Chain A
């Protein structure tokens, strides 16, 4: 059971917009800690996709964006492409656990 809750799967058609939620609590996201997002292609290490809630590292397309409000955060992907069909994870910090926490991951299916 992950401290941060993500939907196991989301889907969308090519060109559409999808969002992936990441729900926490008052000891992590709700306490003001930033949320980071990672993208993991099959058989490879995760890659940083969004940091500090809504910032993209160099090279990440602006189709990807993040937001945070209250005890939750969201990753939005617009103009869905077939290559977006991979796994996504959110990450934050939890003060009760005194450490990094991840969401359980979301598999995106592009229909």
Chain B
């Protein structure tokens, strides 16, 4: 069965960077986009961007451009999301999701989420 398993919770200081991993299993990793979605405490969902694991091509939401980096390692079926220059506003749960290639396909599978806490 399709599974996306994310790395554990992180605590970071303001100004630092964080890198979250998402290990995929149960399907061909290079056959689907990996998206990243942020959810601040008590808030809604916010799309951060996506990576094509086959080519490595990325598309980032304008809000995060310059601060986010999405990469992948196809040898271990794992995608990564890095976010730099963290502030308290970045305290959130970050989810990786799987979506079909193409525009506006649904995000059919979600990781369990990774809580990132930014605090001095």
Across the interface, A46 reaches (CB within 8 A) one of B50, B61, B103, B110, namely B110
Considering only CB atoms and an 8 Å cut-off, how many residues of chain B contact the other chain?
A: 21
Asked if A10 is an interface residue, CB under 8 A from chain B, the answer is no
The DSSP consensus for interface residues of chain B is: strand
- Contact in complex: B59, A99 (CB < 8 Å): yes
- Cβ of B32 < 8 Å from any Cβ of A? no
Which of B50, B104, B108 has the most chain A CB atoms inside 10 A of its CB?
B104
- Residue pair A102, B61 in contact (C-beta under 8 Å): no
CA distance A45 to B37 in the complex (A): 10
User: Does the CB pair A45–B110 fall under 8 Å?
Assistant: yes
Q: How many residues of A contact B (CB 8 A)?
A: 25
Chain B residue nearest to A100 (CB atoms) is: B47
Q: In the complex, which residue of chain A has the Cβ closest to the Cβ of B46?
A: A102
Interface residues of B (CB under 8 A from A): 35, 37, 44-47, 49-50, 59, 61-62, 95, 103-104, 106-108, 110-113
